[in-house]
Amino acid sequence: MKTSELAYTGTYTAWSREGIVSEVKQQMKTSRFEHVLRVEQCAVRLAEKYGASAEACSLAALLHDYAKEHDVEEMKGIILREGMDPELVHFGSEIMHGPVGAYYAEKKFGITDEEILNAIRQHTIGGIEMSLIGKIIFVADYIEAGRTFKGVEEARELAGKNLDEAAYYKIEKTIIHLVKKEVPIYPGTIYVYNSWIQRKAGK
Ligand SMILES: [Fe+2]
Ligand SMILES: [Fe+2]
């Protein structure tokens, strides 16, 4: 299905898809906005393949990077005020924009569906427990058509066969990437990795 043909039913938000698209567009540079539209396209395709709600996936995809370019100090303020993990504030927009994006999804767009909110919250680091929608957004963000990094083809192939394997691939590669870059790793990222690798070993 073409994402432009998706009409929201009002199940998750009173906003129309067009309204959200134009609001999201104002929050970010064009290249990121185009990325968001590609994530939506990919997420809707995965939703059809794996039997998730295309509407929920479209919504989570459109809002996943809503806060990415927001002022860092403002994000820190929201995190501390809303009682989110205070550790988040030490890891920059890269880590903060997930939870802060979920905050806006709820406060501004009236979304209360926990699967959608968690999908936005977890899209950068993943989650110990992830719903189908959560996995779809997490993977779609990684493999959308504009991605060109080494390994993306393998990730796309995995996504076509098994969503869990594709999610695990992203979790593992992200940790390796961060270690190679010699940057500190947000503890939540390590917890997610540990839980996935333990589950994998237990299979
Ligand atoms: Fe993001
Ligand atoms: Fe993204």
Measured in angstroms, how far is the CA atom of residue 161 from the centroid of ligand 2? 22
What's the 202 CA to ligand 2 centre distance in angstroms? 31
Confidence (pLDDT) at 53: 98
DSSP state of 108: T
Question: How far is the centre of ligand 1, averaged over its atoms, from the C-alpha of 203 (Å)?
Answer: 30
Residues 6+ apart with CB under 8 A from 68: 27, 28, 32, 93, 97, 101
Ligand number with the minimum distance to the CA of 95: 1
CATH code at 95?
A: 1.10.3210.10
For helices 30-50 and 54-63, what crossing angle results, to 10°? 160
Helix, strand, or coil here: 30?
Answer: helix
Range of the domain at 132: 3-202
- Ion ligand 1 residues within 5 Å by Cβ: 65
Determine phi and psi for 51, rounding to 5 degrees: 75, 35
Cα-to-centroid distance, 131 and ligand 2 (Å): 18
Q: What is the full per-residue pLDDT of the chain (203 aa) written as tens digits? A: 789 889 899 999 999 999 999 999 999 999 999 999 999 999 999 999 999 999 999 999 999 999 999 999 999 999 999 999 999 999 999 999 999 999 999 999 999 999 999 999 999 999 999 999 999 999 999 999 999 999 999 999 999 999 999 999 999 999 999 999 999 999 999 999 999 999 988 86
Count the neighbouring beta carbons within 10 Å of the beta carbon of residue 21. Answer: 18
Taking residue 136's Cβ as centre, other Cβ atoms within 10 Å add up to 31
Cα of 52 to ligand 2 centre, how many Å?
20
CB 174 within 8 A of CB 151: no
Structure-token pair, residue 188: 């939540």
Provide the number of structural domains found in the chain: 1
